[in-house]
Amino acid sequence: MPATPGARAGTLLRQNRGMPRSNRPRRSVPGKGGGPAGNAAGKKGNGEVPELDLERARAGIARREIAPDGEWMVRTMTARNAEKTYICPGCSMPVPPRVAHLVVWKDDHLFGAAAGLAERRHWHTNCWVSRSYRYR
């Protein structure tokens, strides 16, 4: 007597210890690119995806701010990444290590973007937000 589809599914579930077949980990086949033996495409062979560090992802992106004193690129420096002491141009006080702050540079620099980036400064966040435009 031929097996019915329901009976066959029950047999597969018993063989797979109650786990549906599609959720079983795949075996690596040499030359197929699925595991360490077939890793020709440069992929990780273990199938694990590294966890995304959102704080690091947000900190690496500079945003453009347009103000009466020009166009500025502003990047957030997280407390974890702040390793040196800087002098804030807004208050002339030190920005100590392990304190979150902003890295700011002129985007419309007279000598180009590279010169603006070379003259970047580290500001306290509050100093940057409350800066005065009168003397610039």
* CA angle 76–123–102, rounded 5-degree value: 5
Closest CA to 76 of 51, 98, 108, 104: 104
> pLDDT 10s digit of each residue in the chain, 136 long?
555 555 555 555 555 555 556 666 677 666 665 444 444 444 555 667 777 666 666 666 888 998 888 888 999 988 888 889 999 999 999 999 999 999 999 887 788 778 888 888 999 999 999 987 654 4
Predicted TM-score (pTM) above 0.75: no
Say how many C-beta atoms besides its own lie within 10 A of residue 90's C-beta.
Answer: 19
